[in-house]
Amino acid sequence: MADQVEKKAPVRRRKEARPQELTTAALSLFVEKGFAATRLDEVAARAGVSKGTLYLYFDSKEALFLAVIREGIVPIIEEGRKLLVAHADDPVRMLREYLFGWWALFGDTELGGVPKLMTSEAQNFPEVAQYYVREVILPGKALMREVLDRGVAKGVFRQTDSELVTHILMAPLLHLALWRHSFAVCCQVPDMDPNAYLESFFDLVLKGLAATPEGGK
């Protein structure tokens, strides 16, 4: 019986894993070539199945795209939040964790290509873009705003327009991810070490946000 279980298990696991194998393959190809330039042949081949099999799991190429975004993104946010609350009393540490955590949990993984993909395709898939904004960008910014607000409350950060500043602070993170999936691949750019980049960024922001000693200049 144990034998049977073991024999069946991988098969069942396989079947259940199929959609994710497909979205994973699709994600990397969409990121690399863009949605329109990716052929479903390639996606299927990379996932090790035939082209027809794709249609057992997804109604169309667009549905596959939606699934790629849907399944790939959602769980990250929650993990990030957990990471941050661990340092809720230390806004500087929270900021640092945000930046490095964003990179470690997201930018540096295979999901790191999603910002490039979504930026490229937002206009072609407005509903997906809206979904992404609602589920990823806004929560991510809200999380950053919490960090900032907490810092202000603690007297560590100075008062700023947190809406604008969160936007600004996301930019270098996104840039790091976009760069890796665009120019870094095809141009012999002097290797940019993400850690050093993030350290510099963290240093810059910290000083840029630092509360003035006595509220004066």
Binding site for DNA (CB under 7 A): 7-8, 11, 14-15, 18, 38-41, 49-57, 59-62
CB of 1 to DNA, least distance (A): 14
- Residue 131: its H or E element: helix 126-132
Where do contacts with a second copy occur on this chain (CB under 8 A)? 32-37, 116, 118-124, 126, 129-130, 132-133, 137, 160-161, 163-165, 167-168, 170-172, 174-176, 178, 181-183, 185-187, 189-190, 192, 196-197, 200-201, 203-210
CA distance 147 to 143: 7
Closer residue to DNA (CB): 11 or 187: 11
Strand, coil or helix: 24? helix
41 binds, among DNA, a second copy, none (CB under 5 to 8 A by kind): DNA
CB of 59 to DNA, least distance (A): 7
Residue whose structure tokens are 């930019």: 171
CA distance 160 to 70: 33
Closer residue to DNA (CB): 18 or 93: 18
Closer residue to a second copy (CB): 20 or 149: 149
CB of 148 to a second copy, least distance (A): 11
Strand, coil or helix: 1? coil
Q: Are the C-beta atoms of residues 43 and 29 closer than 8 Å to each other?
A: yes
Q: Quick one: 53 exposed, middle or buried, by C-beta within 10 A (0-12, 13-18, 19+)?
A: middle
